[in-house]
Amino acid sequence: MSALTFAATTVGYGPKPVVRDAIFTVGAGEFVGLVGPNGAGKSTLLRAVTGSADVISGDITLGDASALRMADRDRARVVGVVPQTPVPLFAFPARAFVEMGRNPHLSRLGSLGAADHRIVDEAMARTDTAHLAAEPVDELSGGDLQRLTLAQALAQQPRVLLLDEPTSHLDLNHALQVLDLVRSLADDGMAVLGVFHDLEIAARYADRIAIVADGRLRPPVPPVEALDASTIAEIFGVRAVVRTDPVTGTVGITPVLRDADLAGERTGETVGVVCGSGTGASFMRQLAKAGHGVFAGALNRGDVDHAVAEAIGAGRVDLPPFGEIGEADERTTREGYERSACVIVCETPFGRPNLPNLRAALGSGRPLVLIGQMAEARDFTGGQARQLWDEALSRGAERVDSESEALEALARRLGTEA
Amino acid sequence: MTPSPGRSRAALTLVGLAAALALAIVAGVAFGAVRIPPAEVIAAVSRALTGHGGGLADAVVVDLRLPRVLLAALVGASLALAGVLYQALFKNALADPYILGVSSGAGLGATLALAALGTSYAARAVGVPVGAFVGAALTMLLVVQLASRRGRLDPTSLLLAGIAVSYTLSALTSFVLVYDRETMTSVVFWMMGGLQNRSWQHVGMLALMFSAGAVVPALFHRELDLMLLGDERAGQLGVSVERFKLVMLASASLVVAGAVSVSGLIGFVGLMTPHMVRLVIGPRHRLLLPASVLAGAIVLVIADLLARVVLAPVEIPVGIVTALAGGPFFIWLLVRKEHRR
């Protein structure tokens, strides 16, 4: 049975809907992340569970009971919330602050018993706040306060935990500590629903991710499916390279450009780039940002340069991973370079599979700008790359030492200011 | 993990405050037009309690001085209790019954009741407190309504609305008094905040209203703590915020109405006392509530004592004494808050 269910729920403030017809569940032992642009209504969905935002239609259930019809006290025994850090104005000692989490469990005249104190002790130990017990909360840092607020929520012993940007005030170490803790709480059977701005953090810790945008919620799916490049472009207006992070094994996201950067006036001049293995990534990004169209040659899928070219919408010839550039590919590539105003050769290492890119550039007859030197370390072709390089120089190619010099040379040749 | 050190310190604080209150009461009875030695005060009270009272000196102590001093204590306790409640519910350190206009509302309600019912015994005994309660409760609702923007209560708006409403209602009260000269003479001095000519009946009535208003907050001290974290957080931790506020505001209105019914408008006790107590013992209401109640009683007993002796034999309304001390305190709080931003 799901611990938390949104059943075609429309939430908002007063009569004004913010998110319509949200349908999803969070099961016991599951960690679901909510991501989306600012103001899309992620927090509103969380706040609706505890009655701080209005449910306009539909229902929210906790187990088999409607959250909307539960007494506040009963609901507080089931749902714990870690809001974006509150700012207490009053000098409660930290331990008293955490003890407040026991409120829904205490009888009217009762006070905290031994069991309650044990629960509070454990909550403070797990959030690394035991040493703060005597400190007044109005003098603590935002990070300490955020962990104490989590401890307060844990003292409620909830079955469902709602997190709103739980790491926004935390340094890297404490952020990972808190998220590891939340992950282990989920593994122990708690249902967790968390709002995140950091997509990689969400992807790393959540089992499933739901995207909230344009007043709608896309039902949660595993991070790899939820956060592909086209979704990120569509939701956030950001062209990003999305890959599997080699360290964490989860989704790694490198933003390349904002749509707004590409929305400026194109100069009309397309620039050819010879690249591969990441040697052209930064350069292509700068070209796109400066308003140029780019033709990136033949690139293997899985290559960073391929991903960047795809992100900025550059012309290219797609090759399978580790595939060689065949004769037909080389012809198409040369045609691409022929349509370019100028071709820049990045500091790419050349081997037999990608040498045709350099040959196509030379064969296009367009003006060439060569970056760096053709050192031996770059040439895995037994001298063929060196030969093409020298030939280009003898035909009047310009050689520069850096990407910024290449941009200047390009501006000069195109008759525009750098 | 035992909470006993904190608990014994709390008990010590309360015992200390209670002892201080007892001393203040004895001093309050001892000083006056005729000075009575403290030992004689205690002797007279114990004679009265054991049924052996008599004589003029005993009558001064038991029938004149003691009810007045006890009334001062109860009024101070009531105003301090209301101050604690308002400050918790509104998360506003500057809230107090006088500044929020509740006292003026109670005053207008009481005046209207007097004007309508005449100065008969029934009017004074029942009409005044009931009128004061209705006035206080309606004023509170009005001020909260005025200060709310889309369901949020802006702290500055709350103070401005309270002060504006307070002036308007005071003006209305004056208007009623000018219109109805018969009521006027008996009311004017009372409105300035005075405790003269009060009897045991007043003590009994106020004790009743104070007890009725204090019992619910005492039971809900944990929720009052939670309210300091903000309405939303309090709700997340299990407080039914709207209903809770309504009950607490009703309690506060009740004790303010009681205080205003017997002593008119006395400002700043509800503001200053919880503040000073909070600085010493912290914000937890389990201790803050009883400590503020005791401290409020002490403050007003001493203020009343000063009112009687500073210009003796002329007596100053006690409201003037508290305003002289409280006005600067309020300004200090305002300035300090500005600097913190």
Q: For B28-57, how does the pLDDT look when each residue is reduced to its tens digit (9 = 90+)?
A: 998 877 788 888 888 888 888 887 767 777
Same domain? For A364 and A405 the reply is yes
Average pLDDT in the A246-265 region?
79
Q: Who among B1, B223, B238 is closest to A117 (CB)? A: B1
Confidence category of residue A361, pLDDT binned at 50, 70, 90? very high
Question: Which of A193, A221, A249 is the C-terminal boundary of a domain?
Answer: A249
Q: Who among A50, A71, A92 is closest to B236 (CB)? A: A50
Confidence category of residue A418, pLDDT binned at 50, 70, 90? very low
Q: Are A244 and A251 in contact (CB under 8 A)?
A: yes
Tens of each residue's pLDDT in chain B, 341 residues: 444 456 778 889 999 999 999 999 999 998 877 788 888 888 888 888 887 767 777 877 888 889 999 999 999 999 999 999 999 998 887 888 988 999 999 999 988 888 887 666 766 778 888 999 999 999 999 998 898 876 677 778 888 899 999 999 989 988 887 877 766 666 666 666 667 777 888 899 999 999 999 999 999 999 999 999 988 999 999 999 989 998 999 999 999 999 988 888 888 888 889 988 988 888 999 999 999 999 999 999 999 999 888 887 788 888 888 888 888 887 877 777 544 43
Specify the pLDDT at position B77. 96
- State the CATH number of the domain containing residue A124: 3.40.50.300
Same domain? For A9 and A97 the reply is yes
Read off the pLDDT of residues B276-295 as tens digits, 9 standing for 90 and up.
Answer: 898 888 899 999 999 999 99
Say yes or no to pLDDT of A417 above 50: no
Same domain? For A191 and A320 the reply is no
Q: What is the CATH number of domain B65-336?
A: 1.10.3470.10
- For residue B310, give how far its alpha carbon lies from the nearest alpha carbon of chain A (Å): 38
Average pLDDT in the A235-256 region?
84
Average pLDDT in the A106-132 region?
92
Same domain? For A42 and A97 the reply is yes
Q: Who among B225, B230, B282 is closest to A86 (CB)? A: B230
Specify the pLDDT at position A86. 63
Specify the pLDDT at position A34. 96
Specify the pLDDT at position A266. 61
Say yes or no to pLDDT of A107 above 80: yes
pTM beyond 0.80, yes or no: yes
* List of long-range contacts for B93-96, beta carbons under 8 Å, 24+ apart: B93/A89, B93/B275, B93/B333, B93/B337, B94/B155, B94/B159, B94/B271, B94/B330, B94/B333, B94/B334, B94/B337, B95/B158, B95/B159, B95/B162, B95/B271, B96/B267, B96/B268, B96/B269, B96/B270, B96/B271
Q: Choose between A102 and B96: higher pLDDT.
A: A102
Read off the pLDDT of residues A277-286 as tens digits, 9 standing for 90 and up.
Answer: 889 999 998 8
Same domain? For A210 and A326 the reply is no
Nearest-by-CA chain A residue for B237: A76
Question: Which of A220, A249, A278 is the C-terminal boundary of a domain?
Answer: A249
**Domain parsing of chain B, residue ranges:** 65-336
- Identify whether A259 is part of a domain: no
Specify the pLDDT at position A263. 66
- For residue B20, give how far its alpha carbon lies from the nearest alpha carbon of chain A (Å): 26
Confidence category of residue A42, pLDDT binned at 50, 70, 90? very high
Q: Which chain A residues are Cβ-neighbours of B229 within 8 angstroms?
A: 86, 88, 100
Specify the pLDDT at position B3. 46
- State the CATH number of the domain containing residue A330: 3.40.50.450
Cross-chain Cβ contact B282/A93 below 8 Å: yes
Specify the pLDDT at position B339. 45
Same domain? For A229 and A362 the reply is no
- For residue B128, give how far its alpha carbon lies from the nearest alpha carbon of chain A (Å): 34
Binding-site residues on chain B for chain A (CB distance < 8 A): 1, 3, 91, 93, 150, 219, 222-223, 225-226, 228-230, 232-233, 235-241, 278, 282-284
Percent of chain A whose pLDDT exceeds 70: 96
- Identify whether A403 is part of a domain: yes
Cross-chain Cβ contact A121/B1 below 8 Å: yes
Say yes or no to pLDDT of A46 above 70: yes
Same domain? For A244 and A301 the reply is no
Q: Which chain B residues are Cβ-neighbours of A67 within 8 angstroms?
A: none
Specify the pLDDT at position A101. 95
Specify the pLDDT at position B196. 72
Specify the pLDDT at position B2. 42
- Identify whether A93 is part of a domain: yes
Q: Which domain holds residue A89?
A: 2-249
Question: Which of A219, A249, A279 is the C-terminal boundary of a domain?
Answer: A249
Q: Based on the structure, what is the number of domains in chain A?
A: 2
Cross-chain Cβ contact A100/B226 below 8 Å: yes
Specify the pLDDT at position B183. 65
Same domain? For A14 and A156 the reply is yes
Specify the pLDDT at position A85. 67
Same domain? For A101 and A65 the reply is yes
